[in-house]
Structure 1
Amino acid sequence: MANFTIADIKALREQLGTGMVDTKKALEEADGNVEKAVELLRLKGAKGNAKRADRATSEGLVVARELNGKATLVELACETDFVAKNERFIALADKVADAAAAAGADSVEAALAASAGDQTVDQLISDEAAIIGEKVELRRVRTLDGDAFQIYLHRTSKDLPPQVGVVVAYSGDDAETARSIAQHISFANPSYLSRDEVPAAEVEKEREIVTEISRNEGKPEAALPKIVEGRVNAFFKQVALLDQDYAKDNKLSVAKVAQDAGITVTGFARFKVGA
């Protein structure tokens, strides 16, 4: 009879995020030896990593670090919410974020190549995925330079780790307003800092679309330029942070809020798990 209990299975499963059946089999094969069972699960998982390559990773978490005058935002993805809230997966995300921040990585490729102890981040993720038994993927990494930073991590569910993360780079002394703008970004999801950053081709495409819509609505030809300009400005308010109506007071733009607080937003990054 194997030398372990149901409580042992539960404890190991919660530690590793592995399936009930696989955990039980590993403990049986290891005769209750937890360290040996972990190694068996790792070996079994390593063989399964390739099989899991095409699986979807729609769950996970975001984590951020501020280091050496930079701030790094990381999204680490997995297959299920069970793994996303597992302590081992959360610890892995922390190690990945530490390594990416230390390397100043601004891309997935750079982060995967970064050193994490005596191995690369890529190797670390592969090893941990083998133990966890799910596909684990470093989906996005962004590093910002700036005078100061505010980091906002939002939980979409109290049972899960943060799934929306925002980093704001700014200059000035009003940290409270900078954090409020980070919260605004988490909600409003702008694509660009200012309208000047929106690619000209994207603006022109929007202009063509709203022109066609306006004509189809029967708007007078003479009035089209003004109508189209108004709709293009509405487009900028959707995609450009500084043009957006401030979430806490829609009578003010984000640009006005920042100006009144004496701060200048110089950059931002926003990740939402699976989006």
Structure 2
Amino acid sequence: MITASQVKELREMTGAGMMDCKKALTECDGDMTKAVDWLREKGIAKAAKKSDRIAAEGLSRAAVEGNVAVVFEVNSETDFVAKNEQFLGLLDTIQNVLLTQKPADLDAALACTVDGASVADLITNATATIGEKISLRRIAVVEKADDEFFGSYIHMGGKISALAVLKGKEDAKVAKDVVMQIASMNPKYITRDDMPADVVEHERKVQTEIVANDEKLANKPEKVLAGIIEGKVSKNLKDLCLVEQEFFLNPDQKVGQYLKENGAEVVSFVRYAVGEGIEKREDNFAEEVMSQAFGG
């Protein structure tokens, strides 16, 4: 059975109408990803730009110390707790642990100790004291070479954190501009060469279906259609690549051009937006009233 919350989520992701979303979910047996593609293929929805919707509370951090930098996310149940002094103190402790002990992954980070207590224990204690579930969701510990330089940026006090490693002519302004671009425009890859083949193939499949359903293109030669499809694929995928994005400070310029002009190159980057990909628990009063009224 397709629920009202599923329909609502799909509407938020695609901007399509309620009935179209319900039909898409029904046709796809409730599979959200397939439903998004179904709507796109029918020309009802644009690319899902909100698929990584922010749905949980907490804060992220990006911090640099010498040749080591870290990005991490700590979740809480409410935004109110994210302003709690104990919660902020916990983030300070975790930040210091990550920078000094440089754990390889999340499990290793939770096992790190501070004054005889593990990070996992500190989080458990914070949960008990604050009264909400607190969790260290993810971490990235990044080390750079001596000829490379970092850029870091924290947006809205920690709702989004971004870190980049660059090489070339070291310039603090360029580094800051690049991480602000990453934070605001959410690229997934540096260049098209970094994009997995299955991502490209998936987009090609979607665009092939869209073109096939376009009556205006029905009589076009196969070679022309192939060119149209590849053009659409390229257009839709370019915004996923950092160097192909429009530079936020100058939309007439690509990020790649800005980097080249300043003698810099991006080696890697990390971007965390708090709660992305986590479905937030919410009380849907409208759904509850409808359920009671119609005995659902």
How far off is 1:64 after superposition? 2.0
Distance 2:257 2:103 in 1: 32
Is the Cα contact below 8 Å between 1:60 and 1:76 reproduced in 2? yes
1:186 aligned onto 2:183: yes
How far off is 1:236 after superposition? 2.5
Could you tell me which runs of 5 or more consecutive residues in structure 2 were left unpaired when the two chains were aligned. 1-54, 277-296
The AA in structure 1 aligned to 2:199 is E
Match of 1:168 among 159, 164, 167: 164
The DSSP-based 3-state class of the residue aligned with 2:133 is: coil
Q: Which residue of 2 aligns with 1:63?
A: 61
TM-score, length basis structure 1: 0.74
How far off is 1:231 after superposition? 1.5
1:195 aligned onto 2:192: yes
Q: Which residue of 2 aligns with 1:260?
A: 261
The AA in structure 2 aligned to 1:67 is E
Q: Which residue of 2 aligns with 1:72?
A: 70
Could you tell me which runs of 5 or more consecutive residues in structure 1 were left unpaired when the two chains were aligned. 1-56, 156-160
The AA in structure 1 aligned to 2:93 is K
The DSSP-based 3-state class of the residue aligned with 2:239 is: helix
**Cα 1:243–1:131 shift into 2, 3 Å:** same
How far off is 1:68 after superposition? 4.6
Is the Cα contact below 8 Å between 1:106 and 1:141 reproduced in 2? no
Distance 2:98 2:230 in 1: 43
The AA in structure 2 aligned to 1:90 is L
Is the Cα contact below 8 Å between 1:63 and 1:94 reproduced in 2? no
Distance 1:234 1:246 in 2: 16
Q: Which residue of 2 aligns with 1:44?
A: none
Distance 2:260 2:87 in 1: 41
Q: Which has the larger radius of gyration?
A: 1
How far off is 1:264 after superposition? 1.0
Distance 1:217 1:210 in 2: 11
The AA in structure 2 aligned to 1:200 is A
Deviations along 1:145-175, whole A, 9 cap, x unmatched? 32211110011xxxxx321101111113122
Distance 1:251 1:152 in 2: 24
The AA in structure 2 aligned to 1:170 is L
Match of 1:136 among 103, 124, 134: 134
The AA in structure 1 aligned to 2:138 is R
The DSSP-based 3-state class of the residue aligned with 2:80 is: helix
Aligned residues: 214
How far off is 1:102 after superposition? 1.7
Is the Cα contact below 8 Å between 2:127 and 2:134 reproduced in 1? yes
Q: Which residue of 2 aligns with 1:85?
A: 83
Q: Which residue of 2 aligns with 1:113?
A: 111
Q: Which residue of 1 aligns with 2:287?
A: none
**Cα 1:207–1:272 shift into 2, 3 Å:** same
The AA in structure 2 aligned to 1:264 is E
Distance 1:192 1:65 in 2: 22
Worse overlay, 196-205 or 224-233: 224-233
Distance 2:68 2:174 in 1: 20
Q: Which residue of 1 aligns with 2:152?
A: 151
Distance 1:223 1:76 in 2: 50
Distance 1:63 1:193 in 2: 22
Q: Which residue of 2 aligns with 1:50?
A: none
How far off is 1:200 after superposition? 0.6
**Cα 1:129–1:214 shift into 2, 3 Å:** same
Q: Which residue of 2 aligns with 1:230?
A: 231
Match of 2:120 among 98, 119, 122: 122
Worse overlay, 93-102 or 57-66: 57-66
Distance 1:230 1:249 in 2: 24
